[in-house]
Amino acid sequence: MTLPPLTPRFAALGEPYSLPIPARPLPDPQLLHLNRPLAAELGLDAAAIADPAFTARMAGNAPWPGFDARASVYAGHQFGQFVPQLGDGRALSIAEISDAVGRPQELQLKGAGPTPYSRHADGRAVLRSSIREYLCSEAMHALGIPTTRALALVGSPQPVRRETMETAAVVCRVAPSFLRFGHFEFWYYRREHERLQPLADHLIAGHFPEFDGDPDRHAKWLTEVVERTARLMAQWQAVGFCHGVMNTDNFSALGLTLDYGPFGFLDAFDPQHICNHTDQGGRYAWDRQPVIGHWNCTKLLQACLPLLGDTPEAAVARAQPIADRYPEAYAAAMTTRWTAKLGLRESRDGDEALINRWLGLLASSKADFTRSWRHLARVRVADEQPDTVAGAGLREEILDLAAFDAWLPDYRARLRAEQSEDRERAARMNAVNPKFVLRNHLAQAAIAQAEAGDASEIARLFTVLAQPFAEQPGHEAYAAEPPPEARHIEVSCSS
């Protein structure tokens, strides 16, 4: 048995960026799921994961050999309000390693007990929210969307009080770095600006080596984060992912999807959909995600002003064009995504109107977002009879058939204009429009079974979601819209 080599980087920055805090053990830990493909990517061999000590480490019941677990401090804008101190209240970094191909990776336990940043909370995570984070991290990865990963899910009978009594669980999540926008905001608003540069240089040295040592490295890193965040928002929009809590403390300095709480995938298409029951004003509704992504980037840039110039005026002058990269990068990424989702090989004048009319049809019909794109892939260029379009599927999703019958000839004309070939186009569309996403009712079914002692549905969902674009005959039920009684599942910040 060999463990991957330790390469402490963030831990090496030491205090006051993070503090050594041991995990608090959980009674009777059960390994509910292990992500074997990720274990292999990390360089954990079969003997390492079969070792009983491995489960103990995934529960926080045994330390990673040679590494002291640590909690880091950060701040953040939560629902628009600045909160000066947050931090890893229930997450602990348990190892920093080099993976099988030498990339730096950090392993974090979420729900491993209280830390100095727990703010009177218990430091635990419940099974329900842990299953959701575990499955969604890997579902997003399989969709090709940058995200933190999930290595292991451990449950315990330990009671945890939320609205009702639930039980504890721990997710071991993995990312090259868990640094958030809020890590930089913490030192900026405390006016300890001299703390910013070591933090930024740590991030650049480990994760943006192409900028290391460059006098303009901070501006280059920030430009990269802004552009990555803009592209990430386009990727979320394109699959109907709603994050739910887009606070700056939940935004990654590497442009990863981070902190899965009350997230949701669109079922019926409603652009104003609010997935988080706690977000009553709809600050983080689906159609607001791109603008919030930009706002969050401006907060990161503000926190990094001391890195961008010797005078406030010079720093602002340097930061402004970086912030301005966001709308351009987002628009370009979004156009690329919608174009590909419609099966168009290239973007042309007039496509924007075609896309907007299609999205308008889906919205006015409250059509199922995921299924409608798969149906669209079955449209034939030569088929002039609206009734035979895409089998019956697409017409069943659309309510305003007059508008649909007006749109369809224009879509076909556009396809003909680039000599589109039906089978080839369908294959391209089905490679970007997923059949399977982690709908709330699917997660809920796995949660209910696991709470009753049967973790097998977690494994089944994990397997289906690992191939979101494949047809997977026999798994049609996982691609269905929610049954009527499951349409109004409410998820909140409680986790």
Residues of this chain that bind ligand AMP (CB under 6 A): 86-90, 117-118, 121-124, 245, 250, 259, 261, 493, 495
Answer for the pair 212, 205: CB distance below 8 angstroms, yes or no: yes
Residue 249: active-site member: yes
The residue at minimum Cβ distance from Mg ion is: 259
- Distance in Å, CB of 71 to ligand AMP, minimum: 9
Neighbour-count burial for 390-429, b at 16+ CB within 10 Å, e otherwise? beeebbebbeeeeebeebbeebbebbeeeebebeebbebb
Nearer to Mg ion, 4 or 264 (CB): 264
Q: Which does 121 bind (CB under 5 to 8 A by kind): Mg ion, ligand AMP, none?
A: ligand AMP
Out of Mg ion, ligand AMP, none, what residue 87 binds, judged by CB under 5 to 8 A for its kind, is: ligand AMP
Residue partners of 252: CB distance under 8 A and separation at least 6: 148, 175, 177, 178, 179, 180, 181, 258
Q: Which is nearer to ligand AMP, 289 or 495 (CB)?
A: 495
132's contact among ligand AMP, Mg ion, none, with CB below 5 to 8 A by partner kind, is: none
User: Which of residues 122 and 270 has its CB atom nearest to ligand AMP in the complex?
Assistant: 122
90 close to 112: Cβ distance less than 8 angstroms: yes
In the list Mg ion, ligand AMP, none, the entry touching 339 (Cβ below 5 to 8 angstroms by class) is none
The closest residue (CB) to ligand AMP is 89
CB of 60 to ligand AMP, least distance (A): 14
Q: How far is the CB of 259 from ligand AMP (least distance, A)?
A: 5
Smallest gap from Cβ 22 to ligand AMP, in A, equals 16
Q: 278 exposed, middle or buried (CB, 10 Å; 0-12, 13-18, 19+)?
A: middle
Spell out the residues 6+ positions from residue 425 whose beta carbon is closer than 8 angstroms to its own.
343, 377, 415
Pick between residue 89 and residue 393 the one whose CB is nearest to ligand AMP: 89
Nearer residue to Mg ion within complex by CB, 99 or 259:
259
Binder of residue 124, out of ligand AMP, Mg ion, none (CB less than 5 to 8 A by kind): ligand AMP
What is the smallest separation between the CB atom of 175 and ligand AMP, expressed in angstroms?
15
Backbone region of residue 123 per phi and psi (left: phi > 0; alpha: psi in -120 to 50; beta: other values): left
Q: One of 249, 267, 279, 368 is an active-site residue; which one? A: 249
CB of 478 to Mg ion, least distance (A): 28
Smaller CB separation from Mg ion, 206 or 244: 244
Least Cβ distance, residue 91 to ligand AMP (angstroms): 6
Residue (34 or 245) nearer to ligand AMP, CB: 245
Q: Min. distance of Cβ 293 from ligand AMP in angstroms?
A: 17
Select 88 or 166, whichever has its Cβ closest to ligand AMP.
88
Q: From ligand AMP, Mg ion, none, which one binds at residue 271 (CB under 5 to 8 Å depending on kind)?
A: none
Residue ranges binding Mg ion (CB under 5 A) = 250, 259
Residue that has been written with the tokens 């006051």 in this structure: 16
291 binds, among Mg ion, ligand AMP, none (CB under 5 to 8 A by kind): none
- Residue 457 contact partner, candidates Mg ion, ligand AMP, none, CB within 5 to 8 A by sort of partner: none
User: Would you name the residues annotated as active-site residues?
Assistant: 249
